Amino acid sequence: MPEEIIMPKLSDTMLEGTLLKWFRHEGDYIQRGETLFEVETDKAVLEVESSAAGVLTQILVQGGEKVPVGTVIAIVGGELPEVVPQQEPLPEGAQKTGQAKKPHAQQKETPQLKVVPHKKEAGESAFAGGVHASPAAKSYAAERRIDLSRIAGTGIGGMITLKDVRDYRAHLPSRETSIPDIPAESVPAEGTTVLSTMRKAIAATVSHSKRTIPHFYLSYDIDMTAALKKLVELNRDKSDADTITINDVLIKAVATTLKNYPYLNALYPEGGLLLKKEVNMGIVIGLPEGLIIPVLKSADTLALEDISRGVKKLREKAEAGKFSSDDLTDGTFTISNLGMLGVADFAAIIYPPQTAILAISTIKDTPVLKDGAFIPAKMMRVTLSMDHRVVDGISASNFRRDLTRYLENGDFETVDKPCCIVEDD
């Protein structure tokens, strides 16, 4: 029985995708779960596994084509289409004498995908496109006017990653770090311009969120003095590669606290409210061309070391522009941290269909009144944005209280028993 392979929905906001390439040809036998094709979404380049096993009988969407989510792009199983080879043209002498060359015997041929070299359009440059590179690598190279055609890619299929460009730039002599003869991308002084694909997706998501979700906000300060001291102790014997960051600590603290507040960890799609047992933490990562929110699954069950490794892996994938189809879906709560950039205070927009997001600002040395005297403290401002249809101020205030206690105690491995039983959806 033939089975359809469709363009999958690889992120919560994906509406369409560009099929970059197939890893197998028509006529090949494929296993369920093996990597079958590569897709570029509004957020990243993803490799997709086959959902069926059998002979790949038809490829309906070729490399470079953009189609909506749910479009049938290939057929597995059934009969291979019969390919009749074209008859060779008659020799000049035979055309004059009317004698035809005997045709070869007809045979069923397996169609092969043609690899077509990329043709540069007018004005296109190797500094921003025209080569197989991740979106982050292209943007980084364009800003620094680095010629991507000189760089050997180490990514899958020879793709140039952001790390490849940075490594190349680090080893260039100072006079070759940039190439001044190539003009920078022209930007209109005024008037309209074109948003990137990622920016269009971000614009659509935040517009929908602010238009349909009644946001309300709760801001408060947390004394991070004990947490930072504990962090120094945890990192004392660790290598640089294994160092735990304050962001890892915040993910641990928030995920643990959320177990007691299922409505802050819920999803509210059009079909109705879904309470989720696991805490799948969305982590906002900034890229030159926009934002991406990969998801650390079951963050509430992970030790700090596992959280740290998981976040580092997601950041590496973000820089390379390579995610699995599981990395960008099923988030239940999101953290947006701008503290490392010195931001004093901000509020984030909820990422639908989630019901809340936590904005993390910088940690500042602040005098705090305690027992009648001012003492120095490391204070951090956080702002919780919530969907008022689902969460009220009392629940939010209780979450604030428990998160504050968790961090101010500096005991990151304490896991409290959830107050509520949440059924699987």
As a whole number of angstroms, the distance between CA 141 and CA 306 comes to 33
Q: 35: helix, coil or strand?
A: strand
Q: Is 118 considered catalytic here?
A: no
Q: Active-site residue among 392, 411, 416, 425? A: 392
Torsion (CA) 240, 406, 329, 272 in degrees, nearest 10: 180
How many C-beta neighbours within 10 Å does residue 98 have?
A: 7
Q: Are 322 and 164 within 8 A, CB to CB?
A: no
Q: Distances from the Cα of 93 to the Cαs of 88, 90, 100, 330, in angstroms?
A: 14, 8, 9, 69
As a whole number of angstroms, the distance between CA 177 and CA 143 comes to 12
As a whole number of angstroms, the distance between CA 137 and CA 158 comes to 13
As a whole number of angstroms, the distance between CA 65 and CA 116 comes to 13
Q: Active-site residue among 388, 411, 416, 425? A: 388
367 is written with which tokens?
A: 């005098």
CA nearest to 382, candidates 365, 404, 412: 404
Q: Is 388 considered catalytic here?
A: yes
CA nearest to 277, candidates 289, 292, 290, 267: 267
As a whole number of angstroms, the distance between CA 284 and CA 300 comes to 18
As a whole number of angstroms, the distance between CA 160 and CA 158 comes to 6
As a whole number of angstroms, the distance between CA 391 and CA 398 comes to 11
Active site residues: 388, 392
